A and B are shown apart, each in its own frame.
Chain A
């Protein structure tokens, strides 16, 4: 049973560029959330997708956008990259009926903006 898969694992981008990160949820999960984790900090919620719609959003600017596909996989897009966007981006999946099992996180994408 595959866990959450994220790609790429590492990425280096220049300020002002755009980036797309990808996530495939754990088999049987239909809800995908994205988190940003700066070095030494706890993960911060970006947004959550369910049934191909953004259901919840954290305190992140509109430069952060996403998408969920019919197969439940998801993308996170960040436009006009800033140095401060350098972080580990984590994807987590679950399904509403399995809240007590917690979220399954992927290994993350380490984004460095130079």
Chain B
């Protein structure tokens, strides 16, 4: 089945710095979803991207889908301590189908 790798595995930033996590696949993706999981919490859906080159913004978060639909990124501008958690990209095989999660990027933000 399809697999996605995320980099970096872990990143520690100072509050106010920017953060980016990348999701890469060797095959073309039909869509990509992003989830955030706070420490001790559960995954929370952030966004879904389906179009080549798509860019979506949610306040300080910017999501991109690559032109070749083989990679995606999540960029956070001016991180805050509330951004702490693990960010996962995930592939959905079809409508209401299973999710295949990436390896995740754990973000730590300190003052």
Contacts and interface: CB of A to CB of B under 8 A. Distances in A.
A106 B42 CA distance: 7
Contact of A90 (B43, B48, B95, B103): B43
A99 B94 CA distance: 8
A99 B101 contact: no
B21 to A, nearest CB: 13
A67 to B, nearest CB: 18
A41 B102 CA distance: 9
A43 B43 contact: yes
Q: How large is the interface on A (under 10, 10 to 19, 20 to 34, 35 or more residues)?
A: 20 to 34
- B interface, over-half SS: strand
Contact of A104 (B33, B45, B46, B88): B45
Given A42-B88, A42-B102, A42-B103, A96 B42 contact: no
A33 interface: yes
Contacts of B47: 102
Interface string A24-59: 000000010101000001111100101000001010
Nearest to B86: A42
A103 B45 contact: yes
A35 B37 CA distance: 14
A96 B95 contact: yes
Contacts of B45: 101-105
Contacts of B102: 42
A112 interface: no
B92 A45 contact: no
A102 B33 contact: yes
Nearest to A59: B1
A100 B101 contact: no
Given A95-B96, A96-B96, A101-B48, 6 more contacts: A43-B99, A45-B100, A97-B95, A100-B50, A102-B33, A102-B47
